[in-house]
Amino acid sequence: MMSKVFIITGTRKGIGRELANYYLDKGYVVVGCSRGESSIEHKNYRHYSLDVSDESKIIEMIIMTKKEFGKIDILLNNAGIASMNHIITTPYKTAQNIFSTNFFGTFLFLREVAKVMVKQRWGRIVNFTTVATPLRLEGEAMYAASKAAIENLTQITARELADFGITVNALGPTPVPTDLIKNVPKEKMDALLNRQAIKRFGEFKDIVNVIDFFIDERSDFITGQIIYLGGVNG
């Protein structure tokens, strides 16, 4: 039996790269993408250099993946960008970029991969949200709003795709020490961690634990769910 085929967005660095390596180590096929060139060398890895809001490039990537492997089992919509700005100092261009990558990127991959999964009558989709959304974090209005849109998209598409054996869930990590948060002032970070029930940074193992649960064969009755890490309640 052929091993599972994953599509993971934003695999050049951070969580996306760790996820790609984690599933490659388990013997799975991983098809990844990022704006830059690949940072992963592995016989079971394929890389596409693209912007996740580029519709035609995404369609091409999904067609090529289906052509080579005959199926797509799992989509991890990891690619995302953040920007801290008070609302009155948020440029329109920044707002557009955040929604382009976070929301429209998630939407495009979800739509195109779902077309393949519908024919298979099986699939697992995991979107990424953030604790910034339920915590209503000041300075993160655009980032949190883009992820709130992803949460609603997750819950509605879970209903739309349920009859085809496809589950759609979302994971909301707490801050994980990656490039995404390296410019956030320490006092801001500490204030955020103090709002969690478990007051520490997230780690890769925390994230992959939830993803493994969502994508498990036995999790076919789990859909439309949003799990926030660190004891943050939605």
Q: CA 23, CA 123: separation in Å to the nearest integer?
A: 16
Q: CA 193, CA 177: separation in Å to the nearest integer?
A: 12
> How confident is the chain (234 residues) per 10-residue block, as mean pLDDT?
92 96 98 96 98 98 98 98 93 98 98 98 98 92 97 98 98 82 77 90 96 98 97 84
What does the pLDDT read at residue 186?
A: 82
What does the pLDDT read at residue 177?
A: 77
Q: What residue type is assigned to position 24 of the chain? A: L
* The CATH number, out of the four listed (3.30.750.24, 3.30.1490.20, 3.40.50.150, 3.40.50.720), of the domain defined by the range 5-228: 3.40.50.720
Every domain of the chain and the residues it spans: 5-228
Is the Cβ–Cβ distance between 174 and 196 less than 8 Å? yes
What does the pLDDT read at residue 179?
A: 67
Is the Cβ–Cβ distance between 9 and 78 less than 8 Å? yes
From 53, 3, 37, select the one nearest 23 (Cα to Cα). 3
Token look-up 């990537």 returns: 61
Q: CA 176, CA 144: separation in Å to the nearest integer?
A: 16
What does the pLDDT read at residue 120?
A: 97
What does the pLDDT read at residue 1?
A: 64
Decide: pTM greater than 0.85.
yes
